Structure 1
Amino acid sequence: LDIQRNRVETARALEQAMAEHNYRRSRAILQAQVDKIKASVSANDPFCQNLINDLEYRYPTERDYRSSQHNTYMCHTMERGTYTPPTNMSSLQYANQRQVKMAFDVKNKKT
C-alpha cells in the first residue's frame, strides 16, 4: 500500500512541478517528494528506489527535464507505458517487453 501511495504522491508532485514555471521551485517540489519517499516505510523497495532515482536525475537542459518528467507523470497517472527514456526507470513497469528493449537499446545506443 505504501508503494502505491508513493507512486500516487509522486504523480501529484510531478504534476505540480510541471505546472510551476520557475525551474528552481519545480525542482524543489520534486526534492520534497524524494524526501517523503526516503522517509516512507517502503523507501528501500526497488520501485521506490527507481522513483527516487527518476526524481533526482539531473537533465542537461530544462527542456529535457520538463519533457521527460511530464512523460513520467503521465505514465504514473495512467499506469500505462508510453515512450520511456532510459533515465526514467520507474515508468518501465508499465511498458511491454518491446518498449523495455527499445529503451535499453537507446540507452546503449544500439538502434
Structure 2
Amino acid sequence: MAAAKFKMSKRGVGQLLRSEMVEAEMLRRAEIIKGVAESIAPVGGAGDPHPGLYKSSFYVTSRKRGGRRRDRAVAVAGNSAPYARWVEFGTDRVRAHHVLLRAAAVGGR
C-alpha cells in the first residue's frame, strides 16, 4: 500500500485564513462573546449618571486582514463606553469585573 503524501501550500493556507468562510466563523464567535458580555455586564446603581451605558456599548467588527502579521481574518468584540477600560480592569478603588475576559472564556468556543 502506497503512503499518501501531503505538500502544504503556504499561499493556499493564506487564502484559507483570509477567506469569507473563516471571517464568518470569527464573526460568529465574536457575536457570541458580545451576547455573553451583555448578559453579565454590570449596570450602575442609583448614583450612576449613565445607567446602562456600558451594557449597551458592546460592538463587534471584523476584517479579512488582521492579527500581528495582517495575514488572517479576525473579529473583535469590544466596548465603546468611555469608562470600559476601568470596568474591565478595575482601579485602586473599584474591583475589576473582567466582563469581556469572562465572556470570551465562556462563549469563544
Instruction: Identify whether the pair has TM-score above 0.5, normalized to the shorter chain.
Output: no
* Bigger helix share: 1
Higher-RCO chain (CA-CA 8 Å, sequence separation at least 6): 2
TM-score (norm 2): 0.28
* Bigger strand share: 2
TM-score (norm 1): 0.28
Structure whose CA Rg is larger: 2
